[in-house]
Amino acid sequence: MTDKQLLAPLAGWVLPLTAVPDPVFAEGMMGPGVAIDPTGDTLHAPCDARVQTLHAAGHAITLDLGDGVSLLVHIGIDTVRLGGSAFTPLVAPGDSVRAGDALIRFDLDAIVRQAASAVTPVLLVEGAATIAPIAGEGLIAVGAPLARISAATAEGGLADAAAGETLRRDATVLLPHGLHARPAARIVAAVRDSGAEVTLTAGDDSASATSPIALLSLGLAQGRAVTITARGGDAAGAIDAVVALLSAEVDAPPPAVAPPPAAAPSLEPGALPGVPAAPGVAIGRAVWLRPDIPELPTTGEGVTIERARLAEGIAAVTADLAATAGGGQIGGVLAAHRAILDDPDLRGRAEAGIANGMAAAAAMMTAAEAQGAQLRATGNARIAERADDIRDVALRVVHAILGTRAAAVSVPAGAIVLADDLLPSQFAALAAAQVAGFAVVGGGPTSHVAMLAAGLGVPMVVALGDALRVIADGTMLILDADAGAVVADPAPDRIAQAQTVIDRRAAAEAAARAAGDAPAATADGTAIHVYANLGSIADAEAAAAAGAEGCGLLRTEILFLDRAVAPDVAEQAADYRGVVAALPGRPVVIRLLDVGGDKPAPYLAIPPEENPALGLRGIRVSLARPEVLDTQLRAILAVPEIDRVRIMVPMVASVAELIAVRAALDRLRDELGIGPVPLGAMVETPAAAATADLIAAHADFLSIGSNDLTQYVLAMDRGNPAVASGIDGLHPAVLRLIGMTCDGAATRGVPVSVCGGLAADPLAAPILIGLGVRTLSVPPARVPATKALVGRLTLAAVRTHAAAATAAAGAAEVRALARQFAEEISR
């Protein structure tokens, strides 16, 4: 082809591709190019071309420049999620366009507000050509010279590469996760720099190292043999680089699971240390779960056939999910899986794989791995955990396409299941098989499966690390998920001791359930309300059955977390009404949306933040987006039994936030003619705890979110497995702030509850009551046991105990004191 000049398709600021805030573009995985941060609202043709494809969401266009050369312009990052709302295409596939013609008009404000970034990559995605920027970094007008596209041979690179002898080397893939997107991109970059022409061959399949997608499509798992051939340029250097990249990750590996700090409660000798994810103790034989990834055909049988297969596979799994019953947490996971199947980005990637010649199953799996890699690259453990869900869903689609079945998870009842990682769909089958417990090499204490295990009362320990792998199938184990440890081959007297703990718990649980709806009170007659934390109508039903006296926390964001479009008043109102109706006669605390940080909501795209836990989250989001607050308050006020509803504000850091919410609430109440509705503040920031007296002056109640309070007081990310073992709400610093909160609230006569995880910890609850807390809000399954525990306490005893706990030197010492206290009250 003859050289072509590309004119700036947008007014804006020219940036190098490496500045694009998305590794898929920044690392050149989609192809080389430049980027523009736009200031205008129209995308123009950068040269004469034919419109090749136009994405259905209107945010991306490919242009055929002739001679097999294609250009992709992708307006903004993650803009596919806008569902086309911000884009008006002015051309259609097949149209011929002249340089400067308007192609797509877009709403820049909407992109800036709702997408990850407006930066627009302009990429060479196909063809034997190179692209070189002409314009330097800085402002550019539409139509100004931007870059030059030249035939690749004109640069001399490929011509050189074609010369010289062909070198060959055999190697083995040592990468633990096989050749996935990141090392593939690194290989492409290294080979490009060497100027050599490099091919990887595994079995009958070969891929040029110019294409990360081609490399991924080889489907190279750890242990696969590969032959690397290279010629031209620095062929020997290229082979060395490829072998090195097949052997080890260049990027920092995911954070290692740190061993528990020295200050952690001392475990018995020989116990494997991990992180508690769901409480309880279990005894059973080890059964390893092995991943069940079928052999994937890599080469497709043509785009039409493979697209149809993909569509059928997705439809089959969608129907399966729709037919699977599940309420509560399991219902939430099913909804999340449906949302993943609907994700246009995942489908788009799979379709792109098919367009590149892949078979549908391999394209789906590759797309899932690429999307998963992107999530893991955020470095946010909670977001990264979603990668497991995506992989799980993709595997189901693969089985549907291939007509294979995931090997049925057959585990004998009472077994302790060991796994590298657990997938939510495996978990549902395992729960039905009545396994005794879970021990996981990796995982996080806040993953979906950890929530599922806790909800069903199956103990789980995560982050046990490689040491778990030495345990063989059939080994007798004690899983102590209270201490976060696994004991292999325990002595008979140790087994007997664990059995006593299990029996005692089971008996106490049965007795507690028998107490039914009776309100909780200490042995000396002080009422302590035991409420439930809810995330769905099914949870509310479970809470009512468990005897909860009310709901102390409805996590409204959980109801709508996987939505692409913001829920309107009617949709929200229907859920709130359902929860309130499921708890007849009892108070229900509805928490305002708590998104941001570790709880991203796709429909409220919040631009990436360097420190999301310290960024736009909780009430800060609702105050920054008044229409979100307005919609939610209207939905809450639409609940017919509004006299039983209380509204709670998350992540309060200052009085002004509460005042702003009250003003919005009062305005709407006036408009709708509704009387007062109690408004409370969550105490989750050290600021709120330290100024509890000031906040209480404007609040009808305070509720301590101990999960967040602990992470902010100890400066430890609650979703990061590397520090999970150190995050303990029984740290005296956290307890002292809880004490300050109770004291501050008492000056205004305002009641204090705890709705974080600490309330459900039997070692913590007596201390909380001793500090002045009068309501504990716990998961529905923990309601009976918490009520029973309260009945064994006296105020005098818990006050003395709380004073000792706040004076202790650390969390381990507090836990030791609390264990001693627990033994005393159970005598």
Give the distance from CA 713 to its chain's centroid: 23
Q: Which does 64 bind (CB under 5 to 8 A by kind): ligand PEP, Mg ion, none?
A: none
Residue 555 interaction partner, one of ligand PEP, Mg ion, none, beta carbon < 5-8 Å per kind:
ligand PEP
How far is 597 from 591, CA to CA, in rounded Å?
Answer: 16
Question: Considering the complex, what minimum distance in angstroms separates the CB of residue 187 from ligand PEP?
Answer: 41
Residue 231, beta-bridge partner list: 166, 197
Name residues whose C-beta falls within 8 Å of residue 386's C-beta, 6 or more positions apart in sequence: 375
CB nearer to ligand PEP: pick between 556 and 691: 556
Backbone angles phi, psi at 229, to 5 degrees: -115, 145
Count of C-beta atoms within a 10 Å radius of residue 467: 14
Task: Detail the DSSP E strand segments found in 173-321.
Answer: 197-202, 205-208, 225-231, 272-273, 275-278, 281-288
Residues that bind ligand PEP (CB under 6 A): 553, 555, 594, 684, 705-708, 755-756
Using CB atoms within 10 A of its CB, is residue 320 exposed (0-12), middle (13-18) or buried (19+)?
middle
Whose Cβ is closer to ligand PEP: residue 370's or residue 688's? 688
The distance of closest approach from Cβ of residue 596 to ligand PEP in the complex, given in angstroms and rounded to an integer, is: 11
Q: Catalytic one among 337, 448, 698, 731?
A: 448
Angstrom distance (rounded) from CA 681 to CA 722: 31
Rounded to whole angstroms, how far apart are CA atoms 450 and 757?
Answer: 13
DSSP code, position 91: S
Select from ligand PEP, Mg ion, none the partner in contact with residue 755, using the beta carbon and a kind-dependent cut-off of 5 to 8 Å. Answer: ligand PEP
* Smallest separation (angstroms) from ligand PEP to the CB of 533: 7
Q: Which residues pair with 97 in a beta bridge?
A: 49
Taking the least distance from each CB to ligand PEP, the nearer of 220 and 737 is 737
Q: Are strands 145-151 and 60-66 parallel, antiparallel or unpaired?
A: unpaired
The CB-of-685 to Mg ion minimum distance in angstroms stands at 10
Least separation in angstroms between CB 759 and ligand PEP: 9
- CB of 631: closest distance to ligand PEP in angstroms? 20
Task: Give the three-class secondary structure for 818.
Answer: helix
What does DSSP assign to residue 596?
B
Q: How far is the CB of 664 from ligand PEP (least distance, A)?
A: 21
Q: What kind and span of H or E run contains 706?
A: helix 706-714
Task: CB nearer to ligand PEP: give 24 or 730.
Answer: 730
Of the pair 4, 555, the CB lying nearest ligand PEP is at 555
Number of Cβ within 10 Å of residue 12's Cβ equals 21
Instruction: Report in angstroms how near the CB of residue 706 gets to ligand PEP at its nearest.
Output: 5
What's the closest the beta carbon of residue 72 comes to Mg ion, in angstroms?
Answer: 40
> 787, 727, 648: which is closest to 260 by C-alpha?
727
3-state secondary structure string across 717-783: CCCCCCCHHHCCCCCHHHHHHHHHHHHHHHCCCCCEEECCHHHHCCCCHHHHHHHCCCEEEECHHHH
Q: CB of 761: closest distance to ligand PEP in angstroms?
A: 12
399 flagged as catalytic: no
Q: What are phi and psi of 119, to 5 degrees?
A: -60, 130
Q: Please, which residues have CB within 8 angstroms of residue 484's CB and are 6 or more apart in sequence?
A: 260, 273, 274, 275, 276, 461, 725
Question: Helix 360-377 crosses helix 181-194 at what angle (to 10 degrees)?
Answer: 90
Q: CA 666 to CA 668: how far, in whole Å?
A: 5
Q: Interface residues with Mg ion (CB under 5 A)?
A: 684, 705, 708
Query: Where on the phi/psi map is residue 655: left (φ > 0), alpha (ψ -120 to 50), or beta?
Result: alpha
| Alpha-carbon span 205 to 635, nearest angstrom | 57
Nearer to Mg ion, 705 or 770 (CB): 705
Beta strand spans in 596-670 (E): 645-649
Between 23 and 276, name the residue whose CB sits nearer to ligand PEP.
276
Residue 755 annotated to the active site: yes
Residue of 337, 399, 755, 801 marked catalytic: 755
In 10 A of CB 40, how many CB atoms? 17
CA gap 609, 378 in Å, rounded: 10
- Judged by beta carbon, residue 27 or residue 708, the one nearer ligand PEP is 708
CB neighbour list of residue 216: distance below 8 Å, 6 or more residues apart: 179, 180, 181, 184, 366, 369, 370
Which candidate, 419, 424, 194, places its Cα nearest to that of 287?
A: 419
Q: Toward Mg ion, which CB reaches closer, 23 or 596?
A: 596
Picked from Mg ion, ligand PEP, none, the partner binding residue 706 (CB below 5 to 8 A depending on kind) is ligand PEP
Closest CB to ligand PEP among 455 and 705? Answer: 705
The residue to which tokens 């006299």 are assigned:
643
CB of 342 to ligand PEP, least distance (A): 25
Query: Taking a C-beta distance cutoff of 8 angstroms, is the pair 397, 293 a contact?
Result: no
Residue 46 or 729 having the CB closest to ligand PEP: 729
421 vs 761, which CB is nearer to ligand PEP? 761
The one of ligand PEP, Mg ion, none whose footprint includes residue 192, by CB under 5 to 8 A per kind, is: none
Residue 173 vs 649, nearer CB to ligand PEP: 649
Strands (E) located in 331-446: 416-419, 437-440
Tokens 């002739």 belong to which residue? 66
Minimum separation from the CB atom of position 826 to ligand PEP (A): 27
Structure tokens at 312: 């059928």
**Please, what sign has the CA dihedral across residues 535, 541, 547, 550?**
positive
Q: Which residues are known catalytic residues?
A: 448, 755
